[in-house]
Amino acid sequence: MKAVRVHEYNQPPSLDDIPEPGIEGPFDVLVKIDAAGVCRTDLHIIEGQWAEKSGVGLPYVIGHENAGTVVATGDAVRGVADGDRVILHPLVTCGLCRACRSGDDVHCSDSEFPGINRDGGMAELLRTSVRSVVKLDEGLHPADVAALADAGLTAYHAVRKAAPQLHPGDHVVQIGVGGLGHIGLQCLLAMTAARVTVVDMSTEVLEKAKTLGAHTTVVSDGSQVDQIMDLTKGEGAQIVIDFVGEHGTEADGVAMTKNAGSYYVIGYGGNVDIPTIDIISREINVIGNLVGSYNDLVDLMRLAATGDVTLSTKQYDLDDALRALDDLDGGRVPGGRAILTT
Ligand SMILES: [Zn+2]
Ligand SMILES: [Zn+2]
């Protein structure tokens, strides 16, 4: 089968012909990958940034945002059958550890991450576990939702955690409205009755945020903290969700957070530097967010099925994977997600 494999870090991957995976264990599910999202993490993998963390041996197949059609199942698999269209939770989890039993799939103590630490989905077939497959509603097509498996799931997960703290009319500030941010915005509008203000440097993406339903937009031009304070009568926002996490948004985000409110970190790269006296006197929280659970993905698919969350995509044939990676790297997939289709 065709597969996009990294052979050497800092070199472009290649489209290889490799043996097909098969069913090995009773809970395995073999999926024909109809759509695989191309993610900035793939670029970071190619750059070698994940080499030590993942410990993966080269060559291997990248691709961790996968959706497709079930073509074979292990003996113990129930609930999914050949021909079912599915989206894959990005982790393959054990189902037995304490985290798994409490539904916290991301912190499974014995998990694999196809596309990160073993062969992934930029290929014609991927072997996963029945624990990772979510059946798609009839109206949903793999190419429309594949990128929700990671990017969208992360945004949903943060909003799902923040939603109980947002009462009607509370202010929420979202910093950054790119690939993840535009999904986060739609989740905030669908799941809360809060007033949503979006902060970004680009007036173009702020216009898009307005069409998606953002109540207020603020251009990040140096006066963004003051503008948020004016909007919130000097109090700040109950929740700030930072999709950037570098280049100064960390300090802005903390400054924009209301006393006893929470600053949610999604984007990363920078440092959060808060005097401890401020943390206690203002009683603010800094909340990390990592991917999302299986149940988060199920719920996000419900929002996709009702049209409350939609994703703008640019599709490429699997044969054109290198061009898709190059376009992402060169900023030629603005405000959307590149998807490989077969
Ligand atoms: Zn991703
Ligand atoms: Zn587990």
**What secondary structure does DSSP assign to 238-268, as a single string?**
EEEEES--STTHHHHHHHHEEEEEEEEE-S-
* Nearest ligand to residue 94 Cα: 2
* Nearest ligand to residue 99 Cα: 2
Please give the distance of CA 26 from its chain centroid, rounded to a whole number.
Answer: 29
Q: Give pLDDT, residue 269.
A: 86
Q: Give pLDDT, residue 335.
A: 66
Q: Give pLDDT, residue 201.
A: 94
pLDDT(336) > 90: no
CA distance 324 to 327: 5
| Contact assessment for residue 133 and residue 9, using Cβ atoms and an 8 Å cutoff | no
The 10s digit of each residue's pLDDT in 21-33 is 999 999 999 999 9
pLDDT(198) > 90: yes
Residue 185 CA to ligand 2 center (angstroms) comes to 31
* Nearest ligand to residue 104 Cα: 2
Residue 131 CA to ligand 2 center (angstroms) comes to 10
Would you mind telling me the total number of residues written for the chain in this entry?
Answer: 342
Residue 180 CA to ligand 1 center (angstroms) comes to 10
pLDDT(268) > 90: no
Average pLDDT over residues 201-225: 96
| Contact assessment for residue 145 and residue 137, using Cβ atoms and an 8 Å cutoff | no
Closest CA to 153 of 65, 85, 84, 240: 65
Residue 280 CA to ligand 1 center (angstroms) comes to 35
Q: Over pLDDT 90: what percentage of the chain?
A: 94
Residue 265 CA to ligand 2 center (angstroms) comes to 25
The 10s digit of each residue's pLDDT in 114-134 is 999 999 999 999 999 999 999
Q: Residue 203 corresponds to which tokens in the numbers above?
A: 């007036």
Q: What are phi and psi of 88, to 5 degrees?
A: -105, 125
Residue 216 CA to ligand 1 center (angstroms) comes to 28
* Nearest ligand to residue 131 Cα: 2
CA dihedral 66, 70, 71, 75 (to 10 degrees): 120
Residue 12 CA to ligand 1 center (angstroms) comes to 18
Q: Give pLDDT, residue 101.
A: 98
CA distance 275 to 255: 12
* Nearest ligand to residue 291 Cα: 1
pLDDT(312) > 70: yes
Residue 255 CA to ligand 1 center (angstroms) comes to 29
Residue 141 CA to ligand 2 center (angstroms) comes to 29
Average pLDDT over residues 85-105: 98
* Nearest ligand to residue 132 Cα: 2
Whether the full predicted model's pTM is greater than 0.85, yes or no, is yes
Residue 98 CA to ligand 2 center (angstroms) comes to 7
Residue 5 CA to ligand 2 center (angstroms) comes to 28
Q: Give pLDDT, residue 331.
A: 84
Distances (CA, A) of 309 to 18, 63, 80, 221, 228: 36, 22, 25, 29, 26
Q: Where would I find the H helices in the chain?
A: 40-46, 51-54, 98-101, 142-145, 151-162, 181-191, 203-212, 224-231, 249-256, 276-282, 294-305, 321-329
Residue 107 CA to ligand 2 center (angstroms) comes to 7
Residue 109 CA to ligand 2 center (angstroms) comes to 5
Residue 80 CA to ligand 2 center (angstroms) comes to 21
Residue 214 CA to ligand 1 center (angstroms) comes to 25
* Nearest ligand to residue 97 Cα: 2
For residue 194, give every residue at least 6 positions away whose Cβ sits within 8 Å of its Cβ, in sequence order, or none: 166, 167, 168, 169, 170, 171, 172, 188, 238, 239
Q: How high is the mean pLDDT of the chain? A: 96
pLDDT(3) > 80: yes
Q: Are strands 2-6 and 313-317 parallel, antiparallel or unpaired?
A: unpaired
The 10s digit of each residue's pLDDT in 167-192 is 999 999 999 998 889 999 999 999 99
Q: Give pLDDT, residue 333.
A: 84
Residue 260 CA to ligand 1 center (angstroms) comes to 32
Any bridge partners for residue 210, and if so which? none
| Contact assessment for residue 126 and residue 119, using Cβ atoms and an 8 Å cutoff | yes
CA distance 137 to 214: 27
Residue 295 CA to ligand 2 center (angstroms) comes to 14
CA atoms within 13 A on the CB side of 299: 15
Q: What are phi and psi of 239, to 5 degrees?
A: -130, 135
Average pLDDT over residues 281-299: 97
